[in-house]
Amino acid sequence: MTDSLFSRNLYLFYSFVFFVHILNVFLKSGKLNYFLGILAIIMLLVSYKQASKLFKILSGTFILAGALLFASTDFSLRQIPAILTSNMPLLTLLAMLPWMTSVVKSGRFDRDLKQVMEVNVKDLGKLYPRSSIITLVMAAFLNLTSTTIAQDVLKKNLKTFDKKVRNSFINTTTLRGYSLALLWSPLEILLAASIFATGVDYLDLLPWLLLISGVTLLVDSIWGRYQYRKYTYNHVACAGQPIDMKKLIKKLLHLISALALFLTLVVSLGNLFNLEFIFTVTVLILPFSLAWSVLMKRFRRFWVIGWETWKEKTNSMQNFIVLFISLAFFANSSNGTSFLDVIQEPLVGMADKPWMVMITIQLLFIFLSMFGIHPVATIGILSSVVSTLIAFMNPISLAIILVTSSISTLTVGTYGLVVTLTSANMNQSPYNITLQNMPFALLFGGIGSITAYMLL
Residue type, 293: S
CA distance 435 to 431: 6
- Identify whether the C-beta of residue 344 lies closer than 8 Å to the C-beta of residue 385: yes
- Identify whether the C-beta of residue 132 lies closer than 8 Å to the C-beta of residue 221: yes
Q: Which of 29-38, 205-214, 413-422 has the lowest mean pLDDT?
A: 413-422
Question: Which sign, positive or negative, has the C-alpha torsion 162, 164, 170, 176?
Answer: negative
Compute the CA torsion angle 97, 103, 104, 105 (nearest 10 deg). 100
Q: Which residue has the higher pLDDT, 216 or 413?
A: 216
- Identify whether the C-beta of residue 323 lies closer than 8 Å to the C-beta of residue 55: yes
- pTM for the whole structure: 0.81
Quote the pLDDT of residue 236. Answer: 54
Query: Does residue 99 register a pLDDT over 50?
Result: yes
DSSP 84-95: S-TTHHHHHHHH
Chain segment 286-337, per-residue pLDDT in tens: 999 999 999 999 999 999 999 999 999 899 899 889 988 998 898 888 765 6
- Identify whether the C-beta of residue 179 lies closer than 8 Å to the C-beta of residue 407: yes
Quote the pLDDT of residue 90. Answer: 86
Quote the pLDDT of residue 248. Answer: 77
CA distance 292 to 97: 15
Query: Does residue 237 register a pLDDT over 90?
Result: no
CA distance 278 to 17: 17
Instruction: Find the radius of gyration of the CA atoms of the chain.
Output: 22
Taking CA atoms, 46 is separated from 14, 52, 68, 322, in Å, by 10, 13, 23, 9
C-alpha closest to that of 318 among 90, 47, 97, 56: 47
With residue 249 as reference, give the H or E element that holds it: helix 245-273
Chain segment 382-438, per-residue pLDDT in tens: 877 787 788 888 999 999 999 999 999 999 987 677 887 788 778 888 889 999 999
Q: Which of 25-34, 119-128, 329-338, 390-399 has the lowest mean pLDDT?
A: 329-338
Quote the pLDDT of residue 279. Answer: 92
CA distance 204 to 207: 7
Query: Does residue 1 register a pLDDT over 60?
Result: no
Quote the pLDDT of residue 44. Answer: 96
Quote the pLDDT of residue 259. Answer: 83
- Identify whether the C-beta of residue 408 lies closer than 8 Å to the C-beta of residue 366: yes
Cβ-based neighbour number of residue 303 at 10 Å: 16
Instruction: Report, as an integer, the average pLDDT of 108-122.
Output: 73
Q: What is the DSSP letter of 297?
A: T
Q: Which of 46-50, 212-216, 317-321, 421-425 has the lowest mean pLDDT?
A: 421-425
C-alpha closest to that of 111 among 143, 75, 153: 153
All structural domains of the chain with their residue ranges: 2-454
Q: Which residue has the higher pLDDT, 347 or 88?
A: 88
Query: Does residue 211 register a pLDDT over 90?
Result: yes
Partners of residue 123 on adjacent β-strands: 232
Q: Which of 238-247, 277-286, 360-369 has the lowest mean pLDDT?
A: 238-247
Quote the pLDDT of residue 239. Answer: 43
Q: Which residue has the higher pLDDT, 238 or 203?
A: 203
Taking CA atoms, 146 is separated from 134, 241, 271, 380, 401, in Å, by 9, 23, 31, 27, 25
C-alpha closest to that of 379 among 118, 189, 152, 136: 189
Non-local CB neighbours of 51 within 8 Å, separated by 6+ positions: 59, 318, 319, 321, 322
Query: Does residue 340 register a pLDDT over 70?
Result: no
CA distance 272 to 265: 10
> Across all residues in the chain, what is the average pLDDT?
87
Q: Which of 45-49, 175-179, 293-297, 320-324 has the lowest mean pLDDT?
A: 320-324
